[in-house]
Structure 1
Amino acid sequence: MHIPRTGDAGRYAWIGMFISEVLFGLYWIISQFVRWNVVHRYPFKDRLSRRYEDKLPAIDIFVCTADPILEPPSMAINTVLSVMAYNYPPEKLSVYLSDDGGSELTFYALLEASKFSKYWIPFCKKFAVEPRSPEAYFALNIDLNDSVFAQEWFSIKKLYEDMKTRIVSAVEKGCLSNEIKGQHKGFSEWNSKVTKKDHQSIVQILIEGWNPNAVDIDGNPLPTLVYLSREKKPQCAHNFKAGAMNALIRVSSEISDAPIILNVDCDMYSNDPDAIRDALCFFMDEKKGQQISYVQYPQNYENITKNDIYSNSGPPILKIELAGFDGYDAMPYIGTGCFHRRESLCGSKYFENRIVEWNDAEDKIKGRTIDEVEEASKLVANCSYEKGSQWGKEMGLVYGCAVEDMVTGLTILCRGWKPIYYNPTKKAFRGVAPTTLDQALVQYKRWSEGLFQIFLSKYCPLIYGHGKIKFGAQIGYCMYLLWAPISLPTLYYVVIPALCLLHSVPLFPKADDVVFLRIRDAVIRQLGFSETGFVVTAKVVNDDVLKRYEQEIIEFGNSSIMFTIISTLAMLNLFSLSWGIKKLVFGTTFGALENLIPQIIICGLIAMVNLPVYEALFFRGTKDVCHLQFCSSLSS
């Protein structure tokens, strides 16, 4: 082993690299706990239909949105329409849209969607349309040889495009006309005092699914459709998505109170109309179903490029790691695409020999008018309702963490429940992945900070989960919770070898060391490579953001401190590589630099990884990119 002696140059740098290697090794060991315990599940929904078609439980579906600008209402209603059109008895479906922005524009979009659903749902079921998000469906190349189908297709498409035009126009104007406001009594909830961060509870039932008159154009029942915007006050903590979800749980308990809850983000439309039936196969299993707390589907995206340049949906995570958690009965709750048992989500502990009756739910509407139901729902959505209660602690989603979903899932597991991870070949939900590095980094930053916060809190699985979940699951959770600290040895490896190379300080054995040569030859033989270099292909440059993403060219987005750090590290390794090559070609003899060859190789590999960074800094030509080039280069 190459160990610098006391007084040798680079001794402390070498010790730091040795510690980094040890940390990498420990993290690799942690990751193996879930990667060697993979479980795959396969439901049989045809058997479900034969046995329980008349006993299927009611389903409450929560769709969450927060800002009509960042999350356009037209996108949110596509998700709403996709879940309203499930192959499931419509009288047993209730769809709730939570608008944390309290925007009348979102309410207007949902009102338009409620009208369009009378045409869209029967069209989907008549022709077995997939996917059932109108935007996603009409983007496909559809065979229109059947004249009857073609006629209805054009008719429905025109209705959708007209609706979308009205919604987009309203959002662009930022306000609604008096004519539009006269279409529904719900618009009276908005006045000049209503703002995003200060408004009263708003609950409007747009489709009364229990009303015999609530039918589509073919006379079939429609699902219940509810708009909710919980109360917000500047002096009250609103707890972000966790607070919105808890308000949805309480409001839905006043209206439909279904035993199963599905929650999805507004950009995550349903891609499989039978996803509910797949999930129910687990909940209604005769042997193990009573202990199931939630069925988690993976997050899949429709705009992933071939090489997934921002690592939005890595197969190792979806196909191996999450399936490995399932092997320990400890699948994390990831915040969307999840079917919950209401009982477990509301804080109940699991106990054996439970008797589950799926159809014994109380009729919450009986004997009450719509106005009475809406007023009762507003009360449980008020800020004051949670004061002195267990909401956010023992009930509902847990407060106080940026990744409330992970903490909530862990607390449910520690109450004795078991989750399921189901990753079907046909993706159940599809969303929109970040298309710029800026968006991706913001997402990863929130995740890594929130996950490490869990590790340092009382919810650390090694402490909170001790004796409650399997040891392998406790270690597996740490694989994600330690994302933030494991970046430190990575950062060390990126910076220190390059700095030492600039100062001609060797950190590795000589290139002609016997052990080094034997290892090199063994690796080359095993990989079947000859001793020649690799050729790096160039990237295609395009000014349009979407085209860049589709062509897998990294788009930085806006200049920020994160890009300054990235560009600084990239430039450091580029300068160090250039210096090392210069010394090899024009400098002293090879023997004087042979100790530095491993560091030159490391800098070269890091420079290769950062080719998109150099391309963005030096070669793109638009005004926005030039501004980014100047800011990042100057900061570096």
Structure 2
Amino acid sequence: MEVLRGNNTSSSIITSIPSLHTLRHARRTTLNRVFGAVYTCAIIVLLYHHALNLIHSTTLSSFFITFSFFISDTILAFIWTTQQCFRIAIVYRDEFPENLEKVMKKSNFPALDVFICTADPYREPPMSLVSTVLSVMAYDYPTEKISVYVSDDGGSQLTFFACMEAAKFASHWLPFCRKNNIVDRSPKAYFASNHSWCSDAEKIKIMYESMKVRVENVLERGKVGEEYITCEQERKALSKWTDEFTRQDHSTIIQVLLESRKNKDITDHLMPNLIYVSREKSRTSPHHFKAGALNVLMGFKYGTLVEDYYTGLLLKCEGWRSICCNPKRPAFLGDAPISLIEGLNQCQRLVLGSMEVGFAPITFEGGTVQRWWNDQRMWMIRGLSCSLFGSLEFFLKCLGISTYGFYLTSKVIDHEQRKRYDQGVFEFGVPSPMFVPVTMAAIINLVSFFMGLIQVLKGSNLEGLFVQMFIAGFGVVNSIPIYEAMVLRSDKGKMPLKTTTISTCLVLALYVLVSLALRY
């Protein structure tokens, strides 16, 4: 209770409004600021040192070497600077959703629209989509105010069938979650957990497994068989996929699978809205990838592969304010690539898109020492692969020579690959050009380290060799997974012989060219 005093009234008592969230500042903010100031001074000194060496260069080769150091450190300094904005004033927020009903009545809760995007049933398994749809529909929120839109940019009959199956299963799953106060409301997550199950969980699991078999059978066949069509309404909806229908050229499909005003679950509660949308596509008109698909429904900007960053940046420039909400229990979970080549392809798309909007988001994932060390290795791998190719693609696009298409990251999980990922083992099994610069750098560092070691044993200039050997040795340690993939490993994730051979030949060619250049 709070007491308010005014000029004309002695006192009045009002009930305080419960907080929906609180904000607290991190204790390490001051330390971060001191470290940032010291690090900034170090960067300035380093760039000043490079500039002096550049001015006093006596040969063409020393000029280009110093210039490359200057450019590289300038780029790294810029990347580091862009990371400091959220470290200067770190805050944590605690959310209290249980207070929402104390602030307003359920009938006054705002409507909630959720957009779920997919594009390829073979790279994004339909059962993962089904679990996502069901988890959203089962939100602890008035069901009649929830609308779920599945945006299928691939226009796949298989994805549509999976959505139909999800709509049927939802009439059982939603009451089950509501009755038993289930926390993991994704069926995939719930049935994979070790929590104690309630009495009717086995029945629900049998229904889920039956649905999973039907969806995966349809995916394997590549079409929806007659035995899976249960009513004339489904037959009519599926008839839109004719022989002329392709994912690049088709008319608009909008199908309301569940309508909250009409459809009820097995306990006579209203169901959320569930709408399947596949926008019109034509080979003669640009479709703008995911941004175009979402604009059929959110106002995304075109002209970049990272439409979310671009749109967010423009909104912030117009005065929009946002906060980072990071609850202790994750609000959303997604599938990250576990294959190195998939991760690098995704990173290349981010690099290219970031350069298009003049912003580079670089993240660091904390955790165990092994995870931290792998992050250091990924810095080297990204810099020599996806960042290099992304930058090259950007300049080619500026010249009108090349246009990078939207690359859909695969969410299909290979069990052997997953096992290696959980063990922290890198995947090099795909013969990709992006692995060539990485392998070349590993070979150069190894040769340089041993050549320096030989010079040390001969008693040569130890002071001059120390720094060079330290840098080469750091590169060698970071490249251990690459050496293992080239020589020691025999699993499917080993480095292809073609990549190793090409990299070795290019290193030899580079050595000859540098030797000739240093003579003059």
Name 1:609's counterpart in structure 2: 478
- 1:431 deviates by 1.0
Residue 210, structure 1, aligned to residue 82, structure 2: no
1:36 maps to which of 88, 109, 124: 88
Matched residues in 1 for 2:139 and 2:57: separation? 71
2:122 maps to which of 63, 69, 74: 69
Matched residues in 2 for 1:89 and 1:596: separation? 69
- 1:399 deviates by 0.9
Name 1:89's counterpart in structure 2: 142
Matched residues in 1 for 2:108 and 2:330: separation? 26
Matched residues in 2 for 1:29 and 1:229: separation? 41
Q: Report 1:196-595 matches (<5 A).
A: 196-211=247-262, 214-247=263-296, 249=297, 396-455=299-358, 544-585=416-457, 588-590=458-460, 592-595=461-464
Matched residues in 2 for 1:106 and 1:405: separation? 24
1:52 maps to which of 104, 109, 115: 104
**Retained in 1: the 8 A contact 2:354–2:361?**
no
**Retained in 2: the 8 A contact 1:617–1:632?**
no
1:157 maps to which of 197, 202, 205: 205
Q: Report 1:608-627 matches (<5 A).
A: 608-622=477-491, 624-625=492-493
Q: Which amino acid aligns with 1:33?
A: C
1:177 maps to which of 216, 225, 245: 225
- 1:615 deviates by 1.0
2:156 maps to which of 63, 79, 103: 103
Matched residues in 1 for 2:277 and 2:333: separation? 24
Name 1:538's counterpart in structure 2: none
Equivalent position SS for 1:421: coil
Q: Identity over the aligned pairs, expressed in percent?
A: 38
Matched residues in 1 for 2:488 and 2:120: separation? 35
2:166 maps to which of 103, 113, 126: 113
Matched residues in 2 for 1:51 and 1:193: separation? 54
1:244-302 per-residue CA deviation (whole Å, 9 max, x = no partner) reads 1111x2xxxxxxxxxxxxxxxxxxxxxxxxxxxxxxxxxxxxxxxxxxxxxxxxxxxxx
Name 1:516's counterpart in structure 2: none
Equivalent position SS for 2:455: helix
Cα distance 1:14–1:490, how it changes in 2: closer, same or farther (>3 A)?
farther
Q: Which amino acid aligns with 1:218?
A: T
Q: Which amino acid aligns with 1:550?
A: D
**Retained in 2: the 8 A contact 1:618–1:629?**
no
- 1:43 deviates by 3.1
Matched residues in 1 for 2:220 and 2:479: separation? 39
- 1:22 deviates by 5.0
Matched residues in 1 for 2:152 and 2:75: separation? 44
Residue 167, structure 1, aligned to residue 210, structure 2: no
- 1:168 deviates by 0.4
Matched residues in 1 for 2:381 and 2:422: separation? 32
Aligned residues, how many? 404
1:185-233 per-residue CA deviation (whole Å, 9 max, x = no partner) reads 211111111111111111111111111xx11111111111111111111
1:504-546 per-residue CA deviation (whole Å, 9 max, x = no partner) reads xxxxxxxxxxxxxxxxxxxxxxxxxxxxxxxxxxxxxxx9311
1:293-316 per-residue CA deviation (whole Å, 9 max, x = no partner) reads xxxxxxxxxxxxxxxxxxxxxxxx
Name 1:292's counterpart in structure 2: none
Matched residues in 1 for 2:315 and 2:97: separation? 26
Name 2:246's counterpart in structure 1: 195
Matched residues in 1 for 2:116 and 2:383: separation? 38
- 1:422 deviates by 0.6
Matched residues in 2 for 1:79 and 1:128: separation? 18
Residue 635, structure 1, aligned to residue 507, structure 2: no
Cα distance 1:34–1:558, how it changes in 2: closer, same or farther (>3 A)?
same
- 1:51 deviates by 1.9
Matched residues in 1 for 2:279 and 2:382: separation? 44
Matched residues in 2 for 1:245 and 1:19: separation? 38
- 1:579 deviates by 1.4
1:364-419 per-residue CA deviation (whole Å, 9 max, x = no partner) reads xxxxxxxxxxxxxxxxxxxxxxxxxxxxxxxx101111100111112222333322
Name 1:540's counterpart in structure 2: none
- RMSD of aligned Cα (Å): 2.7
- 1:7 deviates by 4.3
Cα distance 1:105–1:578, how it changes in 2: closer, same or farther (>3 A)?
same
- 1:25 deviates by 4.1
Q: Which amino acid aligns with 1:420?
A: I
**Retained in 1: the 8 A contact 2:257–2:275?**
yes
Matched residues in 2 for 1:41 and 1:579: separation? 54
**Retained in 1: the 8 A contact 2:347–2:382?**
no
Q: Which amino acid aligns with 1:450?
A: G
**Retained in 2: the 8 A contact 1:99–1:228?**
yes
Matched residues in 1 for 2:224 and 2:82: separation? 55
**Retained in 2: the 8 A contact 1:402–1:447?**
yes
Q: More relative contact order in 1 or in 2 (CA 8 Å, sep 6+)?
A: 1
1:124 maps to which of 177, 188, 192: 177
Equivalent position SS for 2:148: strand
**Retained in 1: the 8 A contact 2:83–2:362?**
no
Q: Which amino acid aligns with 1:433?
A: A
Cα distance 1:629–1:478, how it changes in 2: closer, same or farther (>3 A)?
closer
Matched residues in 2 for 1:427 and 1:89: separation? 21
TM norm structure 1: 0.60
Q: Which amino acid aligns with 1:63?
A: I
**Retained in 1: the 8 A contact 2:118–2:150?**
yes
Matched residues in 1 for 2:175 and 2:116: separation? 22
Equivalent position SS for 1:578: helix
Cα distance 1:125–1:202, how it changes in 2: closer, same or farther (>3 A)?
same
- 1:610 deviates by 1.1
Matched residues in 2 for 1:105 and 1:490: separation? 38
Runs of 5+ consecutive residues of structure 2 not aligned to the other structure: 1-48, 364-378, 389-414, 504-520
- 1:16 deviates by 4.0
